Structure 1
Amino acid sequence: MLTLVFKDILVQKNRLWLIVFYGVFMHIALYSLGDIGAYGGAAVGITYIFVLGACALDDKNRSEILLNSLPISRHSLVTAKYLTSLWFLALGLVVSTLAGTVAHFAGLDRGLVNLGTLAVIVFTGLLFISLYYPIYFLFGYLKARYYNTLLFIAALFVPALSATKVSGVGLPAWLGYFLEWFNRSQEAMALGFLGAGLLFVIISLLISIKFYQEREFA
């Protein structure tokens, strides 16, 4: 399975320069969305580019047909894609954090990343992965490309929207108190977002495995 992960990483080695470019570019392009929008846009954007890049190359080279002719279970093929996407998300987080940190110490109006910001970014990245792969494994890369574009546009703005304070107006008192405590405790926020994100990924993985096992290749 690790061989499949390395395959998806190595086939894109000539595009690694995009990581640095995109990390810097998104901090500039999404400057008006604040820290969480810029950090999140860069990290999720890098994840998007390389996840779809790996899938596009598989489609172009018809790698799926070859891999399915080998003694490799479809369960392993699907799981490897998810593991690869987690690697790309981690890479995006590192590059985005470094770009924002350099901007901060260079005197630009950019705050340092904190635990709460990282939690929202990780959740957004995991949510993107969870929503993308079931459609990909059900229909294939080409048939899912329009869905992918809409998903990416949404993913760019979810971090910024997630950072917006939830108003307690019209909410039950207990829920208002809980949200207030949740917003004040970065540790609770991080655990909550990470737990929810991992739950989505696990559910998505199970759905993707089911779709892919039933899929036929011409």
Structure 2
Amino acid sequence: MFNLIRNEFHVHKVHLIVNLMLIFFLYFVARDNFPLLFIGLILTLLFTRNMYFYDIRNNSEVLMNSLPVSRKQIVTSKYVTVTLFALICFSFSMVLNMFFNMYGKLTLFEFVTTLTILAIFMAFFFPSYYLFGPVFIRYAMVLLVVLIFAVGPMVLNLGVKNNFWGLLHLFEQYSIQFAMSMLAVIAVLISLSWLLSYRIYEAKEL
């Protein structure tokens, strides 16, 4: 499985470098519109989509299934690759902020919220792709991108104006308990998603 993950990063190394350059550029340009980790989150969602577009275009699934690896390992490698890509983007954003400090201190609320959004995306994306295939990639992801860039900023601004409807205050009171609870929910959500993806892919005929 390690070789599968290494191969994903080798194939998409240019994409990773370009995304890090985008984060560097947008760090200075979009700082008034988005939270610190939001740019890395969006780029991770797009990376996930492009990763599967590459597999579809190059018929990579047939090649991977001809290798001495199980379908469980193939599915797991996709989850791990996206998670590592997100961590690289988030880490790069935080290192930038350590040097330039244009966003202020990263709050636990922002960190947990970003991880939760990523987990929800992964939990629905992977099983949906293995169930519906390229059709899901073409249409659902386009809709998602439109919602993120059209609806996302409006919801964010509305939340800021209304102090996130008291959620931020509640989080500040029980920050550690809330963070631990959300991490537990994320772990369960991703585990169930992985299991569903594996079951669907295992039963799938290529």
CA change 1:25–1:142 in 2 (3 A) is farther
* Unmatched 5+ stretches in structure 1: 169-178
Q: TM-score, normalised by structure 1?
A: 0.78
How large is the RMSD of aligned CA atoms in angstroms?
A: 2.7
* Unmatched 5+ stretches in structure 2: none
Q: TM-score, normalised by structure 2?
A: 0.82
Correspondence 1:18-33 to 2 at 5 A: 18-27=18-27, 30-33=30-33
Native 8 Å contact 2:40 2:89 kept in 1 = yes
- Which secondary structure state, in structure 1, belongs to the residue aligned with residue 165 of structure 2? coil
Structure 2 counterpart of 1:196, from 173, 185, 196:
185
Deviations 1:89-141 (A, max 9, x none): 1112112223344442xxx4x22212222111111111111121111111223
The separation in 2 between residues aligned to 1:56 and 1:212, in whole angstroms, is 17
The separation in 2 between residues aligned to 1:43 and 1:197, in whole angstroms, is 18
Could you list the structure 1 runs, at least 4 aligned residues long, displaced by more than 6 angstroms after superposition: none
Q: What residue is the counterpart of 1:176 in the other structure?
A: none
Per the TM alignment, residue 3 of structure 1 is displaced from its structure 2 partner at its CA by 0.9
Of structures 1 and 2, the one scoring higher in RCO (CA 8 A, sep 6+) is 2
Q: Please state if 1:137 is matched with 2:130.
A: yes
Structure 2 counterpart of 1:87, from 60, 80, 84:
84
Per the TM alignment, residue 162 of structure 1 is displaced from its structure 2 partner at its CA by 7.5
Correspondence 1:1-218 to 2 at 5 A: 1-27=1-27, 30-33=30-33, 37-104=34-101, 108=102, 110-154=103-147, 157=152, 160=156, 165-167=164-166, 181-217=170-206
Which amino acid is 1:115 matched to?
L
Deviations 1:143-179 (A, max 9, x none): 42221222344456399477752349xxxxxxxxxx8
CA change 1:126–1:153 in 2 (3 A) is farther
Native 8 Å contact 2:159 2:165 kept in 1 = no
CA change 1:152–1:121 in 2 (3 A) is same
- Which secondary structure state, in structure 2, belongs to the residue aligned with residue 166 of structure 1? helix
- Which secondary structure state, in structure 2, belongs to the residue aligned with residue 113 of structure 1? coil
The separation in 2 between residues aligned to 1:68 and 1:151, in whole angstroms, is 30
Deviations 1:17-52 (A, max 9, x none): 32223313444565444xxx4223212122123222
**Identity across aligned pairs (percent)?**
24
CA change 1:167–1:198 in 2 (3 A) is same
Native 8 Å contact 2:36 2:93 kept in 1 = yes
- Which secondary structure state, in structure 2, belongs to the residue aligned with residue 72 of structure 1? coil
Query: How many residues align structurally?
Result: 200
